[in-house]
Every structure is written in C-alpha cells, then in structure tokens.
Copies of this chain bind each other. A is one copy, B any other.
C-alpha cells in the first residue's frame, strides 16, 4: 500500500475469504465505492469459484461508473495463498457447509421440541455449526500465519465468538477482530426511543453512547446515554409502555428480509425487567441464549412477538440473490450504490491511521470484562488507531447477568477446544451445556448423533 499526502491510501490489497458472498461482499463493494480515500484490489476467494468470478465481474463494473469515487480492482482467486499473499486486510464471511447442513442444524432439534430462531450461534444448531466451522478456521488461521501474518483480519462469520477465538488460538499474533451489527440496531432503537418518548431526533446511531459488554449476540448495555441524558430512566418507561405490545422498530432487517426477521423486542424488555440491564441484540438471537422460556414452541415465539427463521427461507432468498447476481453480471441491472451502514471500511481507515474510532468489537478478553475468563473472545468497545486495536475497560457484568453469559463462554471454550482436537466427547459436553438442550440425556445423545451424522461430510476426522 501507498500513502498519498497522509490522506489517501492506494494499492491496498484486501483478501476476501468467502468472496462469492452476495451479502457482505456486495455491501463492502458499495462502501468501498463510496469512499474516496482508499483504492486498490480485492481478491475474492471462495470454494464456489464461480460465485467469486461473478463478484469479480460485478465489482469491476463499478470502477467505470462516474458516481463511484473509490476505484477498486476485483479478482477471483483460485487459492487462499494467492488471495492472502501481500494482503493488508483479510475479510472473512463464509457459510460453513451448505444450507442443507444448516437445515439440519436448525430443524432436526425440532423433533425433540427444541426450536431455534436463527440456529447459527448457540443452541444445538450453533454447536454443531461450530463443529464444522472450527476446523475450517484452523485452516484459515494457518494460511494467514503462513501468507499474511501482519494483515488485519475482520471476521463476519458466525458463530462469531468461536471463529475469532479459533484464529487467536491457532495463531496468537493474529491481528483479528470480529464485527457484528446487532449493537448498531440497538443504538438505532435508542434513537427511535428518544423520538418516541421525548420528540428528540438523533441524526446518527453513534451519537448514542453505550458501554457494551458480553459475547456476540448476547451483548449487554449497562450504560447508555445521549449527550447529557442517561437513557436508562427513559428506557424503563419505554419498556413499561411497550413490554406488552412490543415495539416495532422503523428500520430493521425485517424491512429487507421480511417477516421471518421481525422482533418486537419483548424478550429484551422482559430480560431488562428480570436482570436490570439491557440485552443489546435482537430477540431472535437473545432468546437462544436463555433457557427455553421464549422458544418453548412456535406458539410461545409468536406470543413473544418474534419469529423463527426457517432455512427454507434462506434457500429461497439465496435463489433471489443468485438471480440478482446473474442480472448484475449480465449488466441487466445496475449495482445499487448505497452505504451499508456497516463499519468495515471505517474500521480499515482507522487501522490505516485515517481517523481513530471507538466502536464495539469482538476480541480476546484482556481484562476489559474482568469477571469473564482472560482470552475468551468478548464484545466490548475498543479504540482503533493506526495498526492498533485496544479494548476499552467495560467493567464487570453484574453477577445475575454474568451467570447467563459465563455459561455460554464455557460452552464456547469447550467447542473451540473440541474442534481443534476433534474431540467428539468434549463436543457433546458442550452440546449438553447449552441452555436449549434441556432434554433428557439419552435424547440428547440421539439428537447429537443424528445432527452430526447429517453433517458428517463436514466432520472429517471426528470419528463419526
């Protein structure tokens, strides 16, 4: 890379693992195109090489457009080595296995009365997904160590915590952090609250200042403010107002993705009333971390005002996107230039020294949450400066919430270790430690056997 007057950087190389992605990849393309300080190449690596090729074509069309200020070359790579060598940044967003695997993760447990809204983080689905993912991340971490040890790595893949932790366990010097937009959604919820309750319009969610602590998808705010206002007293009233009806957020994923993604935040409101601080992720995620209070059965989910996302919908949506991709490749439609609302490009700029920032990231615990285990991956605020990410001290979780969080941290530590050593027994220990696996031990054994059998194509070496 090459700095121009300390204001712009050209010749950057970004390696995108999972570069055939039609979600995160397109958002990154848009954000890069809209930023005039950075330029260079994006190497797209994907086990589905055709998908990467399609994105190469889509991406390369952008640089000729007059409304594009950030000029980038896109190139599909056949090998990780080619993509990684010389990279300044590495972005990882992969699907570990196919949607058929995910269908098993999410829906097999339903036979035993276990329902999951997402099924990619915790719950039986999250655990088995982790069993597939950890060995993939071992491979990725070793490739980073070999080919791009000084690159900064941004992870978007779920299970976020488990993926990021694996990178660090395999290659402790890795410069990696995990990013997730769930917290942004809650900052937006606070914006809407300010307008709803007090008529105050807040321009950007990052004016909502929060102390973030927990693990990804189960992060909590114990402090929230807007300028001089402590938002907790207002939030208490807001919860009283909407805890029965739910509050429908104006801008949400559900707008784009439909009813299967809706969340009236009644679970979050209920947890606030029970535990005293705010669980800052959508109900679909948060409910999976709790005992099956909110996910007992589809009727209970319905009653709490959120939705289970069937994998059939994901398959359908995939078709929609493939169709869209084909049209973009063919030039039948034009790529929409719209800021994604994600922070990836801003984070890269901060790492490059072009403006420091404070934001929430998933990184190893260096004491930022003293009562969670050292080195476990946690989500808190961090300061990003040139070539440096420093966690901000978030403080202890209160004991009642920590009891909830620690349980998952322990499961995550187990499943990472199990994945690295392909220890099936330890994986089952992790499986039975999950809150949603609240079934008889014999049933748990059967379910685990069935789920791992369904995905055994991706569990080579586990002895299945």
Contact = CB atoms under 8 A, between A and B. Distances in A.
Contacts of A402: 410
B399 A417 contact: yes
Given A367-B393, A406-B406, A386 B228 contact: yes
- Taking chain A's interface residues, is the majority helix, strand, or loop, or is none over half, making it mixed? mixed
A293 B383 contact: no
A358 B356 CA distance: 10
Interface bin, chain A: 35 or more
Nearest to A296: B440
A400 B388 contact: no
A342 B393 CA distance: 25
A242 interface: no
Interface stretch (A93-101, A171-179, A317-325, A424-432): A424-432
B403 A411 contact: yes
A226 B354 CA distance: 9
Nearest to A300: B440
A179 B255 CA distance: 48
Contact of A211 (B373, B390, B391): B390
Nearest to A423: B400
A399 B414 contact: yes
Contact of A226 (B6, B211, B413, B433): B6
A145 interface: no
A200 interface: yes
A209 B356 contact: yes
Given A370-B366, A390-B394, A6 B229 contact: yes
Contact of A413 (B3, B373, B399): B399
Given A225-B387, A227-B353, 13 more contacts: A211-B388, A223-B388, A227-B354, A228-B352, A229-B386, A274-B425, A291-B441, A356-B358, A366-B393, A367-B393, A368-B393, A383-B383, A438-B438
16 contacts: A6-B200, A6-B227, A209-B385, A227-B353, A227-B386, A228-B353, A230-B387, A274-B428, A275-B429, A291-B432, A367-B368, A381-B390, A390-B393, A390-B395, A403-B429, A403-B433
